[in-house]
């Protein structure tokens, strides 16, 4: 792993990925750039480089394809209904295992963890996913130690978050871990992330 040219983050997008799974972490990590001394680069990419239609219909054009995104230091893998197809696609799971072997950190959001599990990447590890899918995660790989309490689980080279909005908290944690709590707090301040759910 080299950080020549900065720290490279790739946010994977695919058809029916959940909108906030993608954009919550993207926003945090992109805001990190302005506060960072380690020069993160943050790109979206799709497997074939083409545009995608997310879970609620939002259409997004990624910056790159999987072939041209280059070596990553951090891969963000979102959830959403599109994971149904991907976790049953042996070719995709093989691609993910290859990426895993070259990528220091893989971080899933929500049901992205189900695909990581299907690829064998969570075997014997603690992990979490969307709270409606704990059982499914355990069914895909019974050796996963499913954490039903955590907002996110940092197991070093594999980090998993709970459902949808939890990707924001996970991304702030990653900024804190990868650079410093002070920089993560600066990102939080910029995003005015003092959440106060009204219901």
Which residues are designated catalytic? 110
Site for its own copies in 154-193 (CB under 8 A): 162-166, 168-169, 172-173, 175-176, 181, 184-185, 188, 190-193
Rounded to the nearest whole angstrom, what is the least distance from the CB of residue 102 to its own copies in the complex?
24
The token duo for 120 is 């064998």
Q: 12 vs 119, which CB is nearer to its own copies?
A: 12
User: Judged by CB under 8 A, which of 26, 83, 111, 116 binds its own copies?
Assistant: 26
Sheet (strand 64-65) strand order: 64-65, 40-46, 7-12, 74-77, 105-108, 158-161, 152-154
Other beta carbons less than 10 A from residue 46's beta carbon: 21
Site string for its own copies, 52-91 (x = CB under 8 A): ----xxxxxxxx----------------------------
Q: 5 vs 195, which CB is nearer to its own copies?
A: 195
Total residues binding its own copies (CB under 8 A): 52
194 near its own copies, judged by CB under 8 A: yes
Q: What is the dihedral of CA 184, 186, 190, 191, to 10 degrees?
A: 20
Q: 20 vs 99, which CB is nearer to its own copies?
A: 20
> Which distant-in-sequence residues (6+ apart) come within 8 Å of 180 by Cβ?
none
**C-alpha–C-alpha distance, residues 170 and 25, integer Å:** 8
For residue 115, the cross-strand partners are none
**C-alpha–C-alpha distance, residues 4 and 121, integer Å:** 27
Residues lying near its own copies in the complex (CB under 8 A): 18-20, 22-24, 26-27, 30-31, 33, 42, 44, 51, 56-63, 110, 130-131, 151-152, 162-166, 168-169, 172-173, 175-176, 181, 184-185, 188, 190-199
């Amino acid at each position: 792993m080299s950080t020549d040219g900065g720290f490279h983050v790739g946010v994977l997008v695919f058809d029916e990925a959940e909108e906030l799974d993608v954009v919550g972490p993207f926003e945090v990590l992109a805001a990190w750039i302005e506060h960072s001394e380690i020069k993160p680069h943050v790109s979206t990419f799709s497997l074939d480089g083409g545009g995608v239609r997310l879970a609620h219909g939002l259409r997004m054009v990624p910056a790159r394809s999987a072939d041209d995104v280059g070596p990553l230091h951090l891969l963000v893998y979102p959830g959403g209904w599109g994971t149904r197809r991907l976790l049953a696609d042996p070719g995709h799971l093989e691609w993910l295992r290859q990426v895993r072997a070259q990528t220091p950190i893989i971080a899933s959001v929500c049901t992205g963890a189900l695909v990581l599990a299907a690829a064998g990447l969570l075997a014997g590890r603690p992990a979490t996913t969307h709270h409606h899918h704990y059982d499914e995660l355990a069914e895909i790989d019974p050796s996963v130690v499913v954490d039903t309490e955590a907002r996110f689980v940092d197991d070093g080279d594999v980090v998993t978050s709970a459902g949808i909005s939890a990707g924001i908290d996970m991304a702030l944690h990653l900024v804190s871990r990868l650079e410093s709590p002070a920089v993560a707090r600066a990102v939080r301040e910029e995003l005015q992330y003092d959440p106060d759910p009204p219901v």
